[in-house]
Amino acid sequence: MTAPGTQVSVGWLALREPVDAAARALDLAEHLRAQLRATGRRVIHDLGCGTGAMGRWLAPLLPGPQHWILHDRDAELLEVAVADLPGPAADGDTVTVEAKHSDIVRLRPGDLADATLITTSALLDLLTEEELAGLVTVCAGAGCPMLLTLSVVGRVCVRPSDPLDRRVAAAFNAHQRRATERGRLLGPDAVALAVEEFGRLGAEVLVRPSPWRLGPLQAELAAEWFTGWVGAACEQQVELAAETDVYSRRRLAQATAGQLAVTVDHADLLVLPQPSGPHPADSGTSSVCAPLRALVSR
């Protein structure tokens, strides 16, 4: 959830946790469960863990004893993560948690040597190309499956539609790809590059859509998301600020009234270190290319 130069609040992560859980591709978790069936105690490294939401979602879906090692550079978020533990495993086995205050873009191969699974959520699009390449190399060196969820792919749909939606979306995507002191962020390009990097190392990558769907029951999150969306767009394209004042007030009123419907497209990746042949659900299609063309907007 957090990368260098990125700050997120406990409140924001709590607000989005149930929507994240509903969005993640459940079939990838089921495929992962089959891959891990023969494994004994699972050591799971969750990179950029935030408040530990990935563990609370995934741990109850996997059988067997699990030890989660939570990595984040934000000590406050780590405190929340270890205080709000995942439930028992799918078969009732024990789940334990260990916090590691660490910068995930500075991980060394030895840091993940004991991993039987590596996970992350809402992280890849916050990285630069160099950071992603380094992370891919370190993670692939662990030789275990990786579940990488909720990376943005550059598409947003807001209903009812408004003429300004398209311009705000374009400016927001440019902000996601902005130049920083660390380099240019990948934003919506992260999924395609991650698939390319893992493929170059011989891994099989399954790609699935994981869209946020915000409606009346998620009105508070929709309003928070919209405020951040427009704010980032105006930061990127300053002249938009004068045009979005009335637009923002109208949209926020719609969100508060439960009249705003938002779909924010993301993608989930399951990375398998050795090709395992086509999954039954992928019969007749490429596990990577066909879904990727539909998911990724450049």
> Would you list the domain boundaries of the chain?
10-151+184-211+266-292
Gyration radius of the chain over CA positions: 19
Contact 45, 115 (CB under 8 A): yes
**pLDDT for res 39:** 66
pLDDT band at 291 (very low <50, low <70, confident <90, very high): very low
10-151+184-211+266-292 — its CATH code? 3.40.50.150
Q: What is the 3-state secondary structure (H, E, C) of 13-65?
A: HHHHHHHHHHHCCHHHHHHHHHHCCCCCCEEEEEECCCCCHHHHHHHHHCCCC
Statement: residue 280 has pLDDT above 70: no
**pLDDT for res 264:** 98
Q: How far apart (Å, rounded) are the C-alpha atoms in residues 64 and 42?
A: 7
pLDDT in tens, 205-237: 999 999 999 999 999 999 999 999 999 999 999
Pairing of strands 66-72, 42-47: parallel
What count of residues does the chain have?
298
Pairing of strands 95-101, 117-121: unpaired
pLDDT in tens, 20-44: 999 999 999 999 998 887 667 899 9
Statement: residue 293 has pLDDT above 50: no
More confident residue, 135 or 278: 135
- Mean pLDDT: which of 5-19, 250-264, 268-282 is highest? 250-264
pLDDT in tens, 137-167: 999 999 999 999 999 999 999 999 999 999 9
Q: Which two tokens stand for residue 43?
A: 């050591």
pLDDT band at 278 (very low <50, low <70, confident <90, very high): very low
Q: What is the mean pLDDT of the chain?
A: 90
pLDDT in tens, 43-101: 999 999 999 999 999 999 999 999 999 999 999 999 999 999 898 999 999 999 999 99
pLDDT band at 284 (very low <50, low <70, confident <90, very high): very low
Contact 13, 123 (CB under 8 A): no
pLDDT band at 272 (very low <50, low <70, confident <90, very high): very high
Query: Which residue shows structure tokens 């859980």?
Result: 21
Amino acid symbol at 193 = L
**pLDDT for res 64:** 92
**pLDDT for res 140:** 94
Q: How far apart (Å, rounded) are the C-alpha atoms in residues 197 and 191?
A: 10
Statement: residue 286 has pLDDT above 60: no
Specify the pTM: 0.90
Q: Residue 255 burial by CB count (10 A; 0-12/13-18/19+): exposed, middle or buried?
A: buried
CA 231, 234, 236 angle in degrees (round to 5)? Answer: 110
Q: How far apart (Å, rounded) are the C-alpha atoms in residues 224 and 207?
A: 28
**pLDDT for res 35:** 87
Q: How many angstroms separate the Cα of 274 from the Cα of each of 40, 84, 132, 133, 287?
A: 19, 34, 20, 19, 14
pLDDT band at 1 (very low <50, low <70, confident <90, very high): very low
pLDDT band at 125 (very low <50, low <70, confident <90, very high): very high
Contact 134, 105 (CB under 8 A): yes
Q: How far apart (Å, rounded) are the C-alpha atoms in residues 227 and 244?
A: 11
Contact 183, 130 (CB under 8 A): yes
Q: Percent of the chain at pLDDT above 70?
A: 89
